[in-house]
């Protein structure tokens, strides 16, 4: 599909499959854009068709040139701060970053500068892109792996919806204490706050619905540990950590949830992120290399993942 950035504009050459649909249909039905932002685009007269102000309800034709002002400069929303980061994928619309251990996803206070969001802001600034940094999901401070960022509000809203509707697949690798029974399973237990600990979560009948699927990849009998992969239907805080602890197999190194010592952090890594690009329809698959020194996961673990 012919979609390119030209300065502030996203330019789309209308393909045959979109012949005779309107701009309104494209934004609302094809791209499933958010109503609020579509309304703002209309109010700002930010959409052109063949170089002129567009009639949103007039059918477009194959070969028409649609231009939308998506790439307006914005304040980063965080303080740009240099940190080495591993970019797994990037285009004009989004980027996927491999988060190291010991780093928060985003600041909790405006003055914080040591988070992944600060590092992404610096990276964008160094490349001449002034964009509000928008993470689509989070990882705990001591969980490593792939995190998806959007570069402008329209794409962020679409990616948020895709995540909610499970159109973005996230596969985690985890090393757990003990030899788990069976090759695969599903944990469906609601998760809520722990009244006795400010940052801890627990299984609670009054908590939010949470579903974790797991599959055994390799066992380590001599260490009494198991390597599993996890896939989430929901994205609750500490979900994998709480769920695995609740069935008697906490993450190795996760002292907060009863895991045995063994590593400098909980053995959890967001290994793979897969989705269909909402604008280009390309399949994006990102595998996040391990960053730990000394290593936690076996080198071959990424190859053992089962779809």
Query: How many Cα atoms within 13 Å fall on the side-chain side of residue 31?
Result: 22
Question: 86: how many CB neighbours lie within 10 A of its CB?
Answer: 13
Query: How much is the pLDDT for 84?
Result: 93
At 38, is the secondary structure helix, strand, or coil? helix
Summarize pLDDT for 208-236 with one digit per residue, the tens. Answer: 999 999 999 999 999 999 999 999 999 99
Which residue in 86, 92, 140, 299 is the catalytic one?
Answer: 140
Which pLDDT does position 1 carry in this prediction?
A: 65
pLDDT in tens, 120-136: 999 999 999 999 999 99
pLDDT beneath 70, residues of the chain: 1
How many CB atoms within 10 Å of residue 76? 18
What residues have CB less than 8 Å from 278, skipping those under 6 apart? 31, 32, 155, 158, 159, 162
Domain architecture of the chain: domains with CATH = 3-69 (3.10.290.10), 73-165 (3.30.2350.10), 171-269 (3.30.2350.10)
User: Residue 53, by phi and psi: left (phi above 0), alpha (psi -120 to 50) or beta?
Assistant: beta
Name which of 120, 122, 224 is nearest 177 in CA terms.
224
Q: What are 227's strand-pairing partners? A: 175, 218
Tell me what pLDDT residue 88 has. Answer: 98
Give the model's pLDDT for residue 105: 97
Active site residue 194: no
pLDDT, position 249: 98
Q: Identify the residue whose tokens are 């159109």.
A: 167
Residue-level pLDDT at 307: 77
């Amino acid at each position: 599909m012919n979609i390119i950035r030209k300065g502030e504009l996203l330019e789309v050459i209308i393909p045959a499959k979109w012949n005779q649909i309107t701009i309104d249909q494209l934004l609302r039905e094809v791209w499933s854009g958010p109503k609020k932002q579509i309304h703002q685009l209309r109010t700002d007269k930010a959409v052109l068709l063949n170089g002129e102000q567009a009639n949103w309800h007039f059918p477009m034709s194959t070969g028409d040139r649609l231009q939308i002002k998506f790439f307006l400069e914005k304040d980063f929303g965080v303080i740009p701060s240099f940190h080495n980061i591993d970019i797994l994928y990037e285009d004009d619309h989004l980027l996927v970053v491999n988060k190291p251990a010991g780093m928060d996803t985003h600041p909790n206070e405006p003055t914080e500068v040591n988070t992944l969001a600060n590092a992404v802001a610096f990276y964008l600034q160094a490349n001449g892109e002034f964009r509000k940094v928008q993470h689509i999901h989070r990882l705990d401070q001591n969980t490593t792996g792939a995190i998806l960022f959007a570069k402008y509000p329209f794409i962020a809203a679409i990616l948020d919806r895709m995540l909610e509707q499970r159109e973005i697949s996230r596969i985690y690798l985890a090393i757990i204490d003990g030899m788990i029974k069976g090759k695969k399973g599903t944990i469906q237990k609601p998760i809520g706050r722990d009244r006795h600990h400010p940052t801890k979560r627990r299984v609670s009948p009054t908590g939010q619905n949470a579903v974790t699927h797991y599959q055994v990849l390799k066992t380590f009998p001599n260490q009494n540990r198991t390597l599993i992969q996890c896939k989430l239907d929901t994205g609750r805080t500490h979900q994998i950590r709480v769920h695995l602890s609740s069935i008697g197999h906490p993450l190795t190194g996760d002292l907060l949830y009863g895991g045995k010592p063994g590593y400098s952090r909980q053995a959890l890594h967001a290994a793979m992120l897969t989705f269909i690009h909402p604008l280009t329809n390309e399949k994006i698959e990102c595998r996040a290399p391990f960053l730990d020194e000394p290593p936690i996961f076996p080198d071959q673990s990424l190859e053992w993942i089962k779809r």
